[in-house]
Amino acid sequence: MADTGLPARRAALKLIEGVCSEGRLIPEMIGGLDHLSAPDRARAQRLALQTLRHLDKCDRVLKPYLKKTPPDLVMNILRLGVVELCEDGAAAHGVVNSGVTLASKLPRVGHMKGMVNAVLRKVAAEGPGAWAKAPASRIPNWLRGPLMQAWGRKAVETMEAVAAQTPPLDITAKGAPPEGAVALPTGSYRLAQYSQVTKLDGYASGAWWVQDAAAALPVQVLAPQSGEDVLDLCAAPGGKTLQLAAAGAKVTAVDDNANRMQRVTENLLRTGLKAKTVVQDALTFEGQFDAVLLDAPCSATGTMRRHPDLPHAKDGSDFGALIQLQAKMLRHAMTLVKPGGRLVFCTCSLLPDEGEVHIDELELPSDWHIDADACRLAGVQDHWLTSEGGLRLRPDYWADTGGMDGFYIACLRRAA
Catalytic residues: 348
3-state SS assignment for residue 8: helix
Within 8 A by CB and 6+ apart from 192, the residues are 168, 182, 401, 402
Going by their DSSP bridges, the two strands 289-295 and 337-347 should be labelled as: parallel
User: What 3-state class would DSSP assign to 105?
Assistant: coil
Terminal alpha carbon distance of the chain: 75
Give phi and psi for 312, each to the nearest 5: -95, -20
Are residues 389 and 378 in contact, defined by beta-carbon separation less than 8 angstroms?
A: no
Upstream peptide bond of 107 is cis (omega within 30 degrees of 0)? no
> For 29-36, which contacts have Cβ atoms below 8 Å and span 24 or more sequence positions?
36/7, 36/8, 36/11
Comparing CA positions, the residue from 105, 49, 109, 106 lying closest to residue 80 is: 49
DSSP E strand boundaries for 128-275: 169-173, 182-183, 189-191, 208-210, 229-233, 250-255
**Alpha carbon distance 86, 324 (integer Å):** 44
For the chain, the C-alpha Rg in angstroms (whole number) is 23
